[in-house]
């Protein structure tokens, strides 16, 4: 009876985990209000059994898990002693805790890959919808007016779509170049499917016109080329350089605003927010700001430097119904240090250093002949996507974004799986 109950709980957790992957792209409300609470509930029930607790401890790296827990909960302690937990605007960081049910219910490489396939399934559906959106609004997309460039998406915001599709693309490329199936015929079919999907997603990423995604794709794709063969890096650089001139003006003209940022409200606002954030940090560096206090500080500072009307016209008039936008910095790391000060930021740094140590330590690609090609593809995909996620955080508040936190929880779960595989392989030698 006990074993049957445990099997049922494990199967339920596995299925719900896959549904979380699918719904990441398709339904925020269903995912956040139904699937995530259900997954956490099933996980808690599973943990009542001693054998399941042992399994969890076996599946996770203990030191990394402690660092993750400190990173998640210390901000709440800071907020509690600095005015109350509700003085910071969201608790999305708790979604990093999905790492634990993923690590428990998806303990094998096959199940890890099934989660990524579930994410790809949801991503493919939303990509097809985005293509219809692109076709429908092509005339407006192809003929931007001034600094306003219509962008392509479906369901997600344009920037969330670009960021997540960038991550999907890097995983697709990693499996395209590094995965090998033992059956030659099946391997060819898989490669063709991966190539078609990669081209499809790349097209959507390009026409989305996210400047930051273009920037983060350059080093990550060059890394993939480096792992294939070192001399391909030069070819990749030449393709990037030549590709810029091959792009239609409706895309290449927007790239000029990376340099001429003052002519583009999207770029100029970021610079204004960063300057304001730095000034706010100087005022309260240790424990950060309460949201209402920082909102007032920001509005006063905008008026002081003469940009208040500009900020309202190009940003707040459109988004003022959401409190987060009054304290928005468009930089995940600046946002975090302003919310939780140097104390909270120290745990973010420790968390990132732990991720870096794990990523550097995993190197299945060094011995390709004797390594499982699935692990090699997962290694390259996880390293590049984590790098992309971190780069994206320089112009977006990824640590205050539900989609991006769930995405990062999946990435660090895969990283943990690879780390445990590495430890197991070393013990087997």
pLDDT in tens, 322-377: 777 788 888 999 999 999 999 999 999 999 999 999 999 998 888 777 778 899 99
pLDDT mean across residues, the chain: 89
Compute the C-alpha angle 376/382/388, nearest 5°: 140
DSSP H or E stretch at residue 363: none
Residues above pLDDT 70, as percent of the chain: 95
Three-class secondary structure of residue 429 per DSSP: coil
* Predicted pLDDT at 264: 74
Average pLDDT over residues 77-105: 90
Residue 321 above 80 pLDDT? no
Asked whether residue 54 carries a pLDDT value surpassing 80, the answer given is yes
Residue-level pLDDT at 147: 64
Quick one: residue 114, left, alpha or beta (phi over 0 = left, psi -120 to 50 = alpha)? alpha
Q: Which comes out higher in pLDDT, residue 315 or 127?
A: 127
Residue, of 212 and 167, whose pLDDT is higher:
167
Is residue 52 over pLDDT 60? yes
Residue 429: pLDDT over 60: no
Query: Can you give the pLDDT at residue 397?
Result: 87
pLDDT tens figures, 342-351: 999 999 999 9
- What are the start-end ranges of the H helices in 82-183? 99-105, 109-136, 138-142, 158-178
pLDDT tens column, 41-51: 999 999 999 99
pLDDT for position 66:
96
Question: Which whole number is the average pLDDT over 142-164?
Answer: 81
Q: What is the pLDDT of residue 146?
A: 67
Nearest of 400, 399, 398, 344 to residue 79 by alpha carbon: 344
**Percent of the residues in the chain that have a pLDDT greater than 90, as a whole number:** 57
pLDDT band at 259 (very low <50, low <70, confident <90, very high): low
Task: Answer whether 403's CB lies under 8 Å from 32's CB.
Answer: no
Segment 67-91 mean pLDDT? 90
**Confidence grade of residue 31 (pLDDT, cut at 50, 70, 90):** confident
Whether the pLDDT of residue 106 is over 60: the answer is yes
Residue 257, pLDDT > 70, answer no
Is the CA virtual torsion 403, 193, 17, 97 positive or negative? negative
What are the tens digits of pLDDT across the range 261-277?
Answer: 677 777 888 889 999 99
Q: Is 145 helix (H, G, I), strand (E, B) or coil?
A: strand
Q: Which residue has the higher pLDDT, 415 or 232?
A: 415
Q: Does position 114 have pLDDT exceeding 60, yes or no?
A: yes
Position 115 scores a pLDDT of 96
**Which range, of 118-132, 206-220, 254-268, averages the lowest pLDDT?**
254-268
C-beta of residue 17 within 8 angstroms of C-beta of residue 101: yes
Residue spans per domain, the chain: 2-258+331-428
Contact 257, 210 (CB under 8 A): no
Per-residue model confidence as pLDDT tens digits over 272-305: 999 999 999 999 999 988 989 999 999 999 999 9
For residues 207 and 343, give the distance between their C-alpha atoms in angstroms, rounded to a whole number: 40
Give Cα 406 distance to the centre of its chain.
Answer: 7
Residues 190-205 have a mean pLDDT of: 94
Tens digits of residue pLDDT in 378-422: 999 999 999 999 999 998 888 888 889 999 999 999 999 999 999
Contact between 289 and 339 under an 8 Å Cβ cutoff? The reply is yes
Q: 133: how many CB neighbours lie within 10 A of its CB?
A: 19
């Amino acid at each position: 009876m006990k074993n049957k109950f445990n099997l049922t709980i494990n199967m339920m957790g596995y299925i719900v985990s896959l549904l979380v992957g699918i719904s990441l792209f398709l339904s925020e409300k269903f995912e956040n209000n139904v699937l995530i609470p259900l997954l956490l509930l099933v996980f808690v029930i599973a943990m009542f059994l001693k054998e399941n607790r042992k399994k969890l401890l076996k599946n996770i790296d203990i030191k990394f898990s402690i660092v993750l827990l400190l990173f998640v909960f210390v901000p709440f302690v800071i907020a509690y002693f600095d005015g109350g937990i509700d003085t910071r605007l969201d608790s999305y960081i708790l979604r990093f805790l999905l790492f634990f049910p993923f690590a428990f219910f998806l303990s094998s490489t096959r199940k890890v890959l099934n989660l990524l396939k579930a994410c790809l399934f949801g991503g493919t559906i939303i990509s097809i919808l985005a293509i219809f959106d692109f076709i429908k609004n092509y005339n407006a997309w192809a003929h931007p007016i001034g600094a306003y460039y219509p962008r392509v998406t479906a369901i997600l915001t344009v920037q969330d779509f670009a960021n997540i599709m960038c991550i999907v693309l890097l995983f697709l490329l990693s499996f395209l170049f590094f995965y090998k199936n033992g059956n030659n015929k099946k391997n060819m079919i898989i490669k063709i499917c991966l190539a078609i999907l990669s081209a499809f997603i790349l097209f959507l990423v390009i026409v989305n016109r996210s400047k930051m995604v273009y920037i983060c794709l350059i080093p990550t794709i060059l890394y993939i080329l480096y792992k294939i063969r070192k001399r391909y890096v030069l070819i990749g650089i030449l393709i990037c350089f030549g590709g810029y001139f091959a792009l239609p003006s409706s895309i290449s003209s927007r790239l000029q605003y990376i340099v001429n940022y003052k002519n583009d409200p999207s770029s100029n606002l970021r610079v204004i927010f960063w300057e304001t954030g730095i000034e706010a940090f100087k005022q309260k560096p240790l424990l950060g700001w309460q949201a209402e206090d920082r909102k007032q500080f920001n509005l006063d500072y905008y008026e002081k430097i003469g940009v208040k009307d500009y900020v309202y016209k190009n940003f707040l008039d459109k988004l003022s119904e959401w409190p987060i936008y009054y304290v928005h910095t468009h930089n995940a790391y600046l946002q975090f240090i302003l919310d939780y000060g140097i104390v909270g930021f120290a745990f973010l740094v420790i968390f990132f250093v732990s991720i870096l140590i794990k990523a550097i330590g995993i190197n299945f690609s060094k011995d390709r002949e004797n390594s499982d090609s699935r692990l090699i593809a997962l290694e390259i995909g996880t390293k590049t996507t984590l790098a992309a996620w971190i780069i994206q955080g320089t112009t977006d508040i990824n640590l205050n974004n539900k989609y991006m936190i769930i995405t990062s929880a999946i990435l660090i779960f895969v990283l943990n799986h690879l780390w445990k595989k590495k430890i197991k392989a070393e013990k087997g030698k």
